[in-house]
Structure 1
Amino acid sequence: SGDINRLHLLANDFPNIQLSCGADDQALEFFVWGARSWVCAGGNFAPEAHIALYEACVVRQDFITGRKIMAAMLPLMSVLEQGGKFGQCIKHATALRGLPAGPPRNPLAPLNESEQAALAEVIQKMNNDIAAIQAG
């Protein structure tokens, strides 16, 4: 639903259900509350970042590192979730990764050159920041 309060309700009132996150920008909170899975579009073009967050939070239960990784991911999440061009961003980002997904369907238009450059920059910064976090 996107309502983080539902997470608290589900975790507390239904402890026998398995939580899974379906929102890129809520993964840390879901992992803190016991989720062990995450469905996210960003994993298609930035799997290393998403795996780093999963391994920190789920595998090692290291939420301090998880918070640092999520903080590094938030600028990308902001571009994806708040820019109004989620699908176009995903398609361009997968193309940057060497996995072209084709153009957006009408009536959507692809990202313009400045949007493409901004997306590439935020992805590169995220990758660099997460690499530095992992290096210690």
Structure 2
Amino acid sequence: MSSPAASASGDGKKKAEQITFRFCSECSNMLYPKEDEAQRKLMYTCRTCNYSEEATSFCVYRNVLNNASGETAGVTQDVASDPTLPRAKQTCPACNHTESVFFQSQQRSAETGMKLFYVCCNSDCGNIFQ
């Protein structure tokens, strides 16, 4: 069972419903979701003054996971000075410096495989290449 707001687009993709905080109209404190067991309804209730209103949406929490991080996420120019990383005689395509450090792709999926990334050790460059 889906709500009209959840499937507003006709292409089969669900549009994420906006979740907002609700505040009491009497004392301005935050309203919290609570089930009215007698009427079997979702209500938003103030914990201070017991004000209550019926929920307009059944979604009270949504956790959105974003796993589209880049293969070289978190890599900075400081990586070149890290003594724990292995070094290679790989020429940088940007500045022709002949020393670089390398590491394996941090993205764990079948399509990335064993990709190696090189970071130029020239302090003025810091280019990341494969």
Q: Give TM class, smaller chain.
A: under 0.3
Question: Under a length normalisation based on structure 1, what TM-score does the superposition of the two structures give?
Answer: 0.19
Q: Which has the higher helix share?
A: 1
Task: Answer with 1 or 2: which has the greater Rg.
Answer: 2
Q: Which has the higher strand share?
A: 2
Higher relative contact order (CA 8 A, sep 6+): 1
